[in-house]
Amino acid sequence: MHGGDELRVADVVRTHAASRGDHVAVRHGEAALTYAQLDERSNRLANAVLALGAPPGSRIAYLGRSAPEVVELLFAASKIGAVLVPLNWRLSPPELGAVLQDSGAPVVVAAPPYLEVADGLAAARSVRVVAVGDDYEQMLGAHEATDPGGRGASGDVIVQMYTSGTTGVPKGVLTTHRNLAAAAETSPYWQFDEDSVSLTPLPMFHIGGIGWAFLGLWNGATTILVSEFVAADVLDTFERLRVTNAVLVPTMLQLLTGVPGAADRDYSALRSIAYGASPITTPVLKAALRTFGCSFFGVYGLTESTGGVVHLEPRDHDPDGPRAHLLRSAGKPLPWVELRVVDPDTGRDVDRNEVGEVLVRAPNVMAGYFNRPAETAAALVDGWLRTGDGGYLDDEGYLFLTDRIKDMIVSGGENVYPIEVEEALAQHPDVADVAVIGVPDERWGETVMALVIPRAGAEPRADELVAFARERVAGYKLPRVVELVDQLPRTASGKVLKRELRERYAAARA
């Protein structure tokens, strides 16, 4: 399928259902859905959603791990001009409640493990909850399989993923049909075609989950959704289902290469592996190249850029050659992506090899943040997306990412904003002040560290503080290390010098 400006998400399933309806579109465990089935089920779902009182323009939320239902919802939403909101199932109930409130979704489709949470959230908000399983299937059966016929415009929003800002309040990223089409046009670079068997273990509230699934669907290929990452099982799937393309975060690559006998398997079907979402260490990358023996692509992108805007090509992965230093690079911009590195204060371009803020302009850059005009204006300047990431371009035009302009921590491919964790810990009665930083971690890339100044006379225990935070933030945001300190280094205006703390504690851990 081609035609970026003209492509609409619903047309993808309509076209493939007509031309290769018997081909498997999505696999999940033992379940498989063909394109014809996906088209029919998304028609029924679209009609059901309309009957539930979700008109065009409304948000339809999904709470659950990766499963065929989220793909059905994507196409159903597109057929009636609604917007899919995949919720982060790892968030605590108060965090989920805030996101649901912000989206204004009248309907939540919830998988069984999250049903109780969904019901609790819905009770306070007059939201309809549909349970995946019998309820969902009965609802589909009760509605016609007639296509509602909606297409929408290229600039219409189709997915609203939530990303935490530096303020710690999640923002809804507005992803359009054109954005997804531009992301899908990357697929030939990554060796996708209609015969691909593609795998993503990344969650559907991540662009690496839903975006990667869309690459496969756009090509009329088969996409395997993995809802629980177990390294040995994923290797079995690679071999048994002859996987051709996969997307993984560095932590996953490390776990896969660590499985005994991993390098002795048959990966002859494997064409390419894309990796990204957090920094990768050279030893992990070298082990992965040895184990899988296929093309590797490093991918740099954001939710706001609908995934990859910069990639490191297979020919630049030469671990023992003269250009081995490129393994630390994010690569070069894709052909349709403009990239600049600027002084974050003045907005002026900096020289080659000089660190600044990375800006990108491309058709896959979001339309903005939902109901956040001020934050949209701050992020999108004359069409350029301010990534908040620090980096520099070398003399050949390769991008090297350095310190983040924001103080974001990336742990196991998940973004953690210190302010959220600081806010949770600061509510503890024994905490006078707190600073949260990311420190290097062999397994997760970075791990969360909290430096706590206790109140006079108090000596809070680390496990007690972590338990307190656990009630307020998601598990992956919890500090793995808590240290009691007397003071924190600050600027003249009172701001904590986090870079200084990171350097100090990174050196100590090393």
Q: Is 30 exposed, middle or buried (0-12, 13-18, 19+ CB in 10 A)?
A: exposed
CA pair distance 296, 301, nearest whole angstrom: 16
Inter-residue contact 244 to 271 (CB < 8 Å): yes
CA distance 112 to 100: 18
Residue 452, CB-side half-sphere exposure with 13 Å CA sphere: 32
Could you give the CA distance from residue 423 to residue 491 in angstroms, rounded to a whole number?
20
Q: What is the pLDDT of residue 427?
A: 83
Superfamily designation of domain 1-183: ANL, N-terminal domain (3.40.50.12780)
| pLDDT averaged over every residue in the chain | 91
175 forms bridges with which residues in the sheet? 159
Residue 492 banded pLDDT, cuts 50, 70, 90 = very low
Burial of 87 (0-12, 13-18, 19+ CB in 10 A): buried
What is the structure's pLDDT at 443?
A: 86
Residue 273: beta bridge partners?
246, 296
- The pTM assigned to this predicted structure is 0.84
In this predicted structure, which of 34-43, 67-76, 436-445 has the lowest mean pLDDT?
A: 436-445
Looking at the domain covering 409-509, what would its CATH class be?
alpha beta
pLDDT at 468: 95
Contact partners, residue 321, CB within 8 Å, separation at least 6: none
pLDDT, tens only, 8-25: 999 999 999 999 999 999
**Looking at domain 335-404, which CATH architecture does it have?**
Roll (2.30)
- The SS3 call for residue 109 is strand
Q: Does residue 179 register a pLDDT over 80? A: yes
Are 415 and 163 spatial neighbours (Cβ–Cβ below 8 Å)?
yes
3-state secondary structure 189-221: CCCCCCCCEEEECCCCCCHHHHHHHHHHHHHCC
Segment 324-334 mean pLDDT: 92
Q: How far is 253 from 286, CA to CA, in rounded Å? A: 10
For the chain, the structural domain boundaries read 1-183, 335-404, 409-509
**Least-confidence region, from 246-255, 300-309, 331-340:** 246-255
Looking at the DSSP bridge assignments, the partners of residue 439 are 447
Please report the pLDDT score of residue 503 as a whole number: 87
Report how far residue 448's alpha carbon sits from residue 466's, in angstroms, rounded to the nearest whole number: 11
Look up residue 46 and give its two tokens.
């679209």
The whole-angstrom separation of Cα 418 and Cα 406 is 10
Give the pLDDT confidence score for residue 404 in this predicted structure.
63
Measured in degrees and rounded to the nearest 5, phi and psi for residue 151 equal -125, -40
Q: Note the pLDDT of residue 2.
A: 47
246-260 pLDDT, tens digit each? 999 888 898 899 999
Kindly tell me if the per-residue pLDDT of 446 is higher than 70.
Answer: yes
Q: Are 332 and 398 in contact (CB under 8 A)?
A: yes
Whether the per-residue pLDDT at 166 is higher than 50: the answer is no
* pLDDT, tens only, 366-390: 999 999 999 999 999 999 999 988 8
- At residue 325, the 3 state secondary structure works out as helix
